[in-house]
Structure 1
Amino acid sequence: MIARIAEAETEGWLGEVEGLQVSLAGAEEKLRRLDRGHGQHTVVGLAIPTTRGDR
């Protein structure tokens, strides 16, 4: 996407540059949110099944 932005700037496609920059910023933000969520897990307690004789 960075190469496309550079090409659009070279060609003078200002609207295209702006659109690509907005898309790039959105993609970078999404990656940051995914990185922040990585490694965060919730512990869930699971009951151990018993039979009537185990009580």
Structure 2
Amino acid sequence: MRAYGTDCIHEHACVRCPVLIVALDEKPRLEEIRDNLKERIAEGERWFGEVEGLSTSLAAAEDKIAQIEAQQEKKQSPVFLGLPSLSQLATRTSEATE
């Protein structure tokens, strides 16, 4: 674990971090990172170790994008608050006494 605000020695390690919470407005940047990783993987097929590391970063970037899309979908979907039943509405009863 590294101290907050320090430079990471691994390229794209922050994208791989499972505790990284990405803001919704960061989706275009993550898509750019993902596309760049795909290009680099295609370019680096000769170097197995490089492709393996890039593939790990790519999977992490795609996971973060999926998280953002799920957040957006959840934010846009209606929330069912439920409806009270008749017995919940009519909880008071009165008895007429004469």
Both structures adopt the same fold (TM-score exceeding 0.5): yes
2:69 paired residue number: 35
Looking at structure 2, the residues matched to 33 and 8 of structure 1 have their Cα atoms a distance apart, in angstroms, of: 28
Q: Could you say what the CA RMSD is over the residues aligned between the two structures, in angstroms?
A: 1.8
After superposing on structure 2, the runs of 4+ consecutive aligned residues of structure 1 that deviate more than 3 Å are none
Higher relative contact order (CA 8 A, sep 6+): 2
Looking at structure 2, the residues matched to 31 and 7 of structure 1 have their Cα atoms a distance apart, in angstroms, of: 23
2:56 paired residue number: 22
Q: How many residues align?
A: 40
Looking at structure 1, the residues matched to 57 and 50 of structure 2 have their Cα atoms a distance apart, in angstroms, of: 11
Looking at structure 2, the residues matched to 2 and 31 of structure 1 have their Cα atoms a distance apart, in angstroms, of: 15
Looking at structure 1, the residues matched to 56 and 44 of structure 2 have their Cα atoms a distance apart, in angstroms, of: 14
Equivalent position amino acid for 1:3 in 2: E
2:87 paired residue number: none
2:82 paired residue number: none
Q: Which has the higher helix share?
A: 1
2:44 paired residue number: 8
Equivalent position amino acid for 1:14 in 2: F
TM, length-normalised to structure 2: 0.37
**Structure 1 runs not aligned, ≥5 long:** 42-55
Shift in Å at residue 7 of structure 1? 1.0
**Structure 2 runs not aligned, ≥5 long:** 1-36, 77-98
